[in-house]
Structure 1
């Protein structure tokens, strides 16, 4: 179990930095200081490892988001903190990672494209409802439409080829999407609060 956890952690860091296609099982074994035979005792193949790493990332990300929701002062604070977390991840992510998953690991990509984005849509929907209750977001919003629109913009950013070579640009654009999202749904009180934040 200890070797398996170490394998997942090492593979995650390498995949995040270099993408999944360019990282071999030899690279991972070398980084761990073990033989490939040892690795194959705890994982069946590279595809299985990639799927396991992505599943762990999704679970970790959801835990982080839930923690942010619990500790945030209000709906706007929640969105800002989630955005900062997401922007940091984007800056550290290899430009080829998403393309690698789309092209070579479609089943694993589907877990992100459908399951995880559906989860994020629910998070946004809950955030909008929270903001309305707190008087920070307008009451006349179509919550479902707002949530879907946000996820469409996020997906377009993730899949964009125009800025794929610069993850910093994607992180900046992600912040701009959230800036646009918040400013389009806030009340006057919400805008006043948002303007006091360092975002």
Structure 2
């Protein structure tokens, strides 16, 4: 039952927002009483924390699976982007903004975990790209990995990129192209063009 609650809550939070969804709505959509949910989660804050952990773990496992395929680093980044978009459902309600505003402790903890995981993943990707001649050999790996993470958070800032003007999917495509054009060799740019034709 706990897994069902997490899955349903995850869908509702991503579609409607962490603040907007009530425990009553979650119970109703599951066809159970609120008491059943409280058996597993003491309050909504605890449920929100569990759901963010659930999303994070699901995406991390998916990224590990993609990295294990050992594809070229540019195709790898596009595959990871597709996986993230699939799980975040285009974020129509801007869940990150709501999480940051209404659950700042959970947001801060999640951001730190995201940085730790993403840092390792991006550094591996950069090193692989340099070794295969797809990325320039003179890039500063630590700097680029941090700028990449910062930019990924930045494009989710709804004051800078309002949802009515920028779809999350479009922003992700723009940002990935921007990142790769800055670090790719001629060989890498050809690979990037191949990916851009697929989208």
Relative to the length of structure 1, the TM-score reads: 0.91
* 2:130 paired residue number: 132
Relative to the length of structure 2, the TM-score reads: 0.91
Runs of 4+ with deviation above 6 angstroms: none
Contact 2:8/2:30 (8 A) holds in 1 = yes
Deviation at 1:161, TM superposition (A): 1.5
Q: Structure 2 vs 1, CA of residues 82 and 167 (structure 1 numbering), >3 Å: closer, same or farther?
A: farther
User: Is 2:48 aligned against 1:50?
Assistant: yes
Could you give the per-residue CA deviations for residues 98-126 of structure 1, whole angstroms, max 9, x where no partner exists? 22211211111112322213321221111
Could you give the per-residue CA deviations for residues 42-69 of structure 1, whole angstroms, max 9, x where no partner exists? 1111110000000011000101111111
Contact 2:59/2:84 (8 A) holds in 1 = no
Contact 1:20/1:100 (8 A) holds in 2 = yes
Whole-angstrom CA distance in 2 between matches of 1:120 and 1:105: 22
Return 5+ residue gaps in structure 1 as ranges: none
Whole-angstrom CA distance in 1 between matches of 2:87 and 2:161: 16
Aligned Cα root-mean-square deviation (Å): 1.8
Equivalent position to 1:41, from 39, 42, 46? 39
What SS does the corresponding residue of 1:139 show, helix, strand or coil? coil
Deviation at 1:92, TM superposition (A): 2.9
Contact 1:29/1:39 (8 A) holds in 2 = yes
Contact 1:95/1:166 (8 A) holds in 2 = no
Whole-angstrom CA distance in 1 between matches of 2:80 and 2:9: 25
